[in-house]
Amino acid sequence: MALVPLLSRWVGGTEFKNLPNLRIVANCAVGYNNVDVVAAEMRKVIVTNTPGVLTEATADLTWALILATARRVIEGVDLVRSGQWTGWHPEQLLGLELRGRTLGLFGAGRIGQAVGRRALPFGLRILYAARTAKPDFERETGATRVDATRLLAESDIVSLHVPSTPETKGIINGETLARMKPGAILINTSRGDLIREEALATALELGQLGAAGLDVYTDEPAIHPRLLAAPRTVLLPHIGSATEQTRRKMAAIALANVQAVLSGKPPLTPVYS
Ligand code: NAP
Ligand code: GLV
């Protein structure tokens, strides 16, 4: 028996107990924080994910958020639609010029690096924080590996690309937000629970942070009311991988994993060995 959950579906002890013939949980996402992997391993249930095929789509969407926040695109759209626009003004909706600024990648795996590569033509300096050095990425982009404290202190844009784990949950909180540059932009296309949303709302309300571009939230599909009301936010409904081609490839990998395991072969993309 196989389960192919969406990322919004928690798979844990109840499923493993009630489905004794379960052989594989083929998560239809690269993130698998919705699966109790420890419980799965104990029950000898294989867990797989969909790495790689959604990297470029998610990096593109991350850039959509970077550009939309830096250049105040949604505020501009709202102004036009409101009928209140009175014409070109030299000080209207002034944003952040990207060239010469610093992009800080918190996590530099597949998606983090793809976001970094896209920064080159925009003339951004790249910093990254990761557990292991990425020499090829450094050679290709001139990126510099730094610790999290320096990343937060020096980046004009901080973009989160670590998975949600016990170590990364809440890494962006009141204390770390206070270490960011005044007016910096925070982007999150990874998982909502990396950020303490109350603290983020406060930083935006106080103008301590310049803007936030979010695709993911702690309690999806609910969005914290203070984030909904906060200024300078671009809020998307978890559409990082949402292109037709990518979604087809994600489904194909999940299916291939199920077929392999149910026919006694090793899975293609297991999350643990
Ligand atoms: P990945 O290739 O595994 O990259 C994650 C990176 O984070 C790895 O390089 C990893 O290890 C690093 N890392 C893990 N824990 C860390 C820590 N405590 N401190 C610093 N770095 C740490 O995964 P990916 O394919 O890029 O995906 C990243 C995440 O994006 C997924 O887990 C998922 O949550 C999210 N995602 C969201 C969407 C969306 O629709 N918005 C779409 C796809 C993925 P090293 O530092 O050792 O390299
Ligand atoms: C989407 O969020 C994924 O992890 O694939």
Per-domain boundaries in the chain: 2-53+243-262, 55-235
Model confidence pLDDT, tens digit, residues 248-260: 999 999 999 999 9
What value does the mean pLDDT take over residues 9-25? 95
Residue 210 Cβ inside 6 Å of ligand 2? The answer reads: no
Contact 58, 188 (CB under 8 A): no
Closest ligand 1 atom to the C-alpha of 112? 26
If DSSP codes are grouped into helix, strand and coil, which group holds residue 234?
strand
Which pLDDT score, from 0 to 100, does residue 213 have?
99
Which pLDDT score, from 0 to 100, does residue 254 have?
98
Which pLDDT score, from 0 to 100, does residue 272 have?
82
Q: How many residues does the chain have?
A: 273
Distance between CA atoms of 42 and 45, rounded to whole angstroms? Answer: 8
Task: Indicate whether 63 pLDDT > 90.
Answer: yes
2-53+243-262 has CATH 3.40.50.720 classification: yes
Mean pLDDT over all residues of the chain? 98
Ligand 1: which residue has its CA nearest to atom 27? 111
What value does the mean pLDDT take over residues 134-148? 98
Task: Indicate whether 89 pLDDT > 90.
Answer: yes
Mutate-to-test residue for ligand 2 from 241, 243, 249, 253, highest number of ligand atoms within 8 A of CB: 241
Which residue is catalytic, options 101, 110, 161, 191? 191
Domain at 55-235, CATH class: alpha beta
Distance between CA atoms of 252 and 240, rounded to whole angstroms? Answer: 18
| Inter-CA distances, 52 with 4, 45, 191, 206, 271, Å | 18, 23, 17, 38, 13
Closest CA to 244 of 57, 40, 51, 3: 57
Distance between CA atoms of 170 and 172, rounded to whole angstroms? Answer: 5
Angle at CA of residue 65, ends 64 and 67, nearest 5°: 70
The secondary structure of residue 270, as a DSSP letter, is B
Closest ligand 1 atom to the C-alpha of 113? 26
Task: Indicate whether 186 pLDDT > 80.
Answer: yes
The secondary structure of residue 35, as a DSSP letter, is B
Residue 51 Cβ inside 6 Å of ligand 1? The answer reads: yes
Residue 59 Cβ inside 6 Å of ligand 1? The answer reads: no
As given in the structure block, the two tokens for residue 25 are: 């949980």
Q: Which stretches of 121-193 are DSSP H helices?
A: 135-141, 148-154, 174-178
Model confidence pLDDT, tens digit, residues 43-55: 999 999 999 999 9
What value does the mean pLDDT take over residues 71-88? 98
Split at pLDDT 50, 70, 90, the class of 96 is very high
**The pairing of beta strand 24-26 with beta strand 46-48:** parallel
Distance between CA atoms of 11 and 49, rounded to whole angstroms? Answer: 13
Which residue is catalytic, options 198, 220, 226, 247? 220
What value does the mean pLDDT take over residues 178-203? 98
Residue 35 Cβ inside 6 Å of ligand 2? The answer reads: no
Q: Which stretches of the chain are DSSP H helices?
A: 13-18, 37-42, 55-70, 73-82, 110-119, 135-141, 148-154, 174-178, 197-205, 225-229, 244-262
Which pLDDT score, from 0 to 100, does residue 194 have?
98
Looking at all shown ligands, the one closest to residue 107's CA atom is: 1
Distance between CA atoms of 209 and 177, rounded to whole angstroms? Answer: 8
Examine the residue annotation and report whether 198 is marked as an active-site residue of this protein.
Answer: no
Q: Ligand 1: distance of its center to the CA of 141 in Å?
A: 19
Ligand 2: which residue has its CA nearest to atom 3? 29
